[in-house]
Structure 1
Amino acid sequence: MKKGFLLSVFFFLLTACNRNDKPIIAFYYWKTTFKLSEKEKVTLEENNVSKIYIRYFDIDLHPKTKVPFPVSPIHFKEKPTAYNIVPVVYLKNQVLLQPNLNIDDLAQKTVNFINTINQKNNLNGQEIQIDCDWTLATKTIYLEFIEKIKKLSHKKLSATIRLHQVKYFKKTKIPNVDSGVLMYYNIGTISADSSNSIYEKKIADRYLKSLKKYPLQLNFALPIYSWAVHIKNQKVIGLKSKLNVSDLQKDTNFVKIKTNYFRVKHANYKGGTFYEKDDLLKTEAITAADLTEMAEDLNENSAQAPKEIIFYDLDEFNLNNYEKNIFEQVVSCF
C-alpha cells in the first residue's frame, strides 16, 4: 500500500509539471516601425510565440484644435503574417476629459483607422486592445467608448488594467471586454531617490490581495525594459530609454558613485541629450529575479490562471539583458 501511495504521488507530481495549460508567451511591440531584428526573430521562434500585441497608434488631442487625432501610426516595413497580430490603441486619458467629446465619432474613426492599417498590410486579426489609464472623472465616457468599439469592430476586445483599477474596481468600474491585461509595471514614482519606479514590491503588495476579488479574466504584462532617470540638483528632469548600466560603465564621461547611480564627470552629449557636469543618472531595470518574484506573487494571488504572459516590450536592446530561457522560466511559475 505504501508503494502504491508513493507511485500515486510521483504520478501526480509528474503530470503537474507537464501540464499543457501553462500560459502562452506573448510580446508587446511598441515601436512606430515594424521590422524585426534577427535577435527578435530568434526569440520569438525559441519561445514558440504566435501572438504579438502591436501598438498601432496613440489617440491624443491636436495641440491647436483640441480635436482627437491619431499620433505616430505604425508603419510595416515587413509583414508579420506568421503571427497572430493584435492591434493596440493607446487612448490618452486627457482625450476623454475634453468637453462635448463625440464618443460615437471617436469610436468609429478608431475602428476605421485600425481597419485601414490592416487592409493596407493584408492583416486580419481577431482582437483589438484598448490601452487607457482611465480615472473616476472619465470612467463613464470610457466605458461608453469600449461599448462602441465592441459593437463596431465585431472582434474580441481586451483592455489594459492598472493595479488601482483592480483594487478600487467598484468605483472605477470594469470595462465590458472579453479579457483584461494587468500592467504589472510602472508601479512606483519616478524620483531622485533609490526606489525603482518600474517595480516596487512593497507598493505592489498593497494591491495584490485585491486580485482574487476582481471578476474579469486577466492576463499579465511584465516589464523587460530599462531606463535612466536624469537628475539635476536633486530634481528629475527626464527619462532616457535604452540606457543601462553597461552603457554608462563604458563611457568615461560618467563615473559610478553607488549602486545604479552615475555622476556626469565631463559635460557631454549622449543619445541626443546634453548632460552637464555633476548631473546624475539613476538606472532602473528589472532583473531575472524580479520577474520570477512578480510571477510567483501574481500566481499566488490570482483568482484565475492567466492564459497569456505578455512581455513589454519586444526590442533587441531589452532582450540582450536576459538569458534566452528567461521567458520560459517566468511562465513556469504559473
Structure 2
Amino acid sequence: MSKRFFLGLLFLFLTACSKNEEPIISFYYWKTNLKFSETEKNALKDNDVQRLYVRYFDIGLHPQTQKPFPISPIHFYDTVQQFEIIPVVFIQNKVMLQKDLEVHDLAAKTIHLIAEINSKNKIKYSEIQIDCDWSLDSKDNYLKFIEQVKQLSKKKLSATIRLHQVKYFKKTKIPNVDNGVLMFYNMGAIANDSLNSIYSRKISEKYLESLKKYPLHLDYALPVYSWAIHIRNEKILGLRSKLNFTELKKDKNFEQISPIFFRVKQSNYKNGVYYQENDLLKTETISKEDLKEMAEDLDDNKAQAPKEIIFYDLDEFNLNNYEKNIFKQVVSWF
C-alpha cells in the first residue's frame, strides 16, 4: 500500500509540475539595423530572454526582372552572442505564386544568404523560420520550398501559421516543419471603420475551435505594437507607425473626435509625413486586457500547451506603451 501511495503522490506531483510550467518569453526583432536601446536591453534582461527571432531579409520580386531577390538584409551593430538567434525570412506570397518559380534555386540562395550573414557576424544557429502567408494558389510552390530548405540546410525548421491556415489545413496543407508559430494578429482588413485590424475577438472566435484539431505543434506570437491608419476623403493613404496616442492628444494640430479617431485641425508634417487639414487618423492599439483575452482564449482551445510565447516586436516605442512586467503576466495566463 505504501508503495502505491508513494507512486500516486509522485504522479500527482509530476502532473502538477507539467501543468504549471510556463512558456518561455521570446521576441521578434523586425528592424533592418540591429542595435538595442537601453529600454530594449532592459526588457531582454528583465524577462530572461534567451531566444530572438530576427528578420534577416524579405524576399520579393525585382521590379524589372520579376525574379525573386532579397530586400533590406539586416545589419548587426550589437553583439548577440548571448542569445540563440533564429533567422526569419519573410517571403511575399507573390513570389510563391510564380508558375515558373525555380524552387530549388530559391531555397539554395536563401540558405546561402542566411549563412553569409551569420558567418560575417559570427552567429551560430540551429533553426530557420520561414514567414509566408501562402494561399491555395501558391501552396504547391511553398510546400516544395519548405522541403528544399529543410533538406539543404539540415537545420530545424519552423514556419509562421495564420488562423485561416489552421481552420482550412486540409486545403491549405501543413508545411513539413518541426513546429509552427501561430500569428495571433493582423486579423482584419485595414479599413476606415471602427474595427481593430490588429486584433478582433469576434474574428478570432471563428477560428479558435480549429486549434484543437490542428496536428502541428504551435507556439504563439502575440502583438505588442500599434499603428495609425491615415485616411483622407474616406480613402486610406497608408499605415503610420510609431505614432504615440498620448503625443497625438497633446499635439495642437490634431483633435480627438472619438476613442480611436483623431482629426487634423491644420495641415502639418509629423515624423516626415504630411497631414492635410481634415485628414483622419484611426489609432489601433493592443491593451493589457486584449493580451489577457488572447491568452485565455488560446489556452482554452489549445491542442497542446505552447512552449514559447513570441512577442511582436521588440522595439522601444512598443515597450514604452506597457508596464514593465506585462510579458511575465501574459505567459502566466497560459
Q: Structures share a fold, TM > 0.5?
A: yes
2:319 alignment counterpart? 319
Query: Which residues in structure 2 correspond to 1:249-288 (within 5 Å)?
Result: 249-288=249-288
- The one-letter amino acid of 1:315's match is D
1:77 aligns to 2:72 (yes or no): no
User: Contact 1:228 / 1:244 at 8 angstroms: preserved in 2?
Assistant: no
Q: Distance in 2 between matches of 1:78 and 1:244?
A: 27
**d(CA) in 2 for partners of 1:270, 1:213:** 47
The letter for the 1-side match of 2:178 is D
Q: Does 1:21 align with 2:21?
A: yes
CA contact (8 A) 1:187 1:200 kept: yes
Please say if residues 133 and 162 of structure 1, whose CA atoms lie closer than 8 Å, have aligned partners that are also in contact.
yes
CA distance in 2, matches of 1:192, 1:231: 7
Deviation per residue, 1:120-173 (Å, 9 max, x gap): 000011100000000000101100000000011111000000000000000000
Structure 1 residue 17, shift from structure 2 partner: 8.2
Q: Which residue does the alignment assign to 1:3? A: none
Q: Which amino acid aligns with 1:250?
A: K
Q: CA deviation at 1:233?
A: 1.4
Which secondary structure does the structure 2 equivalent of 1:160 belong to?
strand
Which amino acid is 1:257 matched to? Answer: I
Partner Cα distance (2:17, 2:224) in 1: 26
Q: Which runs of 5+ in 2 are unaligned?
A: 1-7
Cα deviation 1:262-281 (Å, max 9, x = unaligned): 00001001111111100100
TM-score (norm. length: structure 2): 0.95
Name the amino acid aligned to 1:168.
Answer: Y
- Aligned equivalents of 1:158 and 1:111: distance in 2? 14
Distance in structure 2 (CA, Å) of the matches to 1:117 and 1:65: 25
The letter for the 2-side match of 1:167 is K
Q: Name the residue aligned to 1:233.
A: 233
| Separation (CA, whole Å) in 2 of partners of 1:235 and 1:287 | 27
1:180 counterpart letter in structure 2: G
Q: Using the TM superposition, give the Cα deviation of residue 235 of structure 1 relative to its aligned residue in structure 2, in angstroms.
A: 2.0
Deviation at 1:244, TM superposition (A): 2.8
1:206 maps to 206
Conservation of the 8 A alpha-carbon contact between 1:222 and 1:310: yes
TM-score by length of 1: 0.95
Alignment partner, residue 118 of structure 1: 118
Question: Which secondary structure does the structure 1 equivalent of 2:257 belong to?
Answer: strand
Question: How far apart are 1:99 and its partner, in Å?
Answer: 2.9
Name the structure 2 match of 1:130.
130
User: Partner residue of 1:93?
Assistant: 93
1:240-289 superposed Cα distances (whole Å, 9 cap, x missing partner): 00113112012110011111110000100111111110010010000001
In structure 2, how many angstroms separate the alpha carbons of the residues matched to 1:199 and 1:99?
34
Secondary structure (helix, strand or coil) at the match of 2:277 reads: coil
Q: Report the secondary structure of 1:310's partner residue.
A: strand
What is residue 31 of structure 1 aligned with on the other side?
31
| Residue identity opposite 1:303 in structure 2 | A
- 2: CA distance, partners of 1:128 / 1:21: 25
Q: Which residue of 1 aligns with 2:54?
A: 54
Identity across matched positions, percent? 63
Note if contact 1:219-1:307 (Cα within 8 Å) is conserved in structure 2. Answer: yes
SS in 2 for 1:48: coil
CA contact (8 A) 1:127 1:156 kept: yes
Query: Which ranges of 4 or more aligned residues in structure 1 deviate by more than 4 Å?
Result: 15-20
Which residue identity lines up with residue 322 of structure 2 in the other structure? Answer: Y
- AA aligned to 1:296 is E
C-alpha separation between the residues in 1 aligned to 2:69 and 2:128? 18
- What SS is found at the alignment partner of 2:237? strand
Contact in 2 for aligned 1:245/1:260 (Cα 8 Å): no
Tell me the equivalent position of 1:293.
Answer: 293
User: Aligned pairs, how many?
Assistant: 326
Q: Partner of 1:291: helix, strand, or coil?
A: helix
Equivalence for 2:176: 176
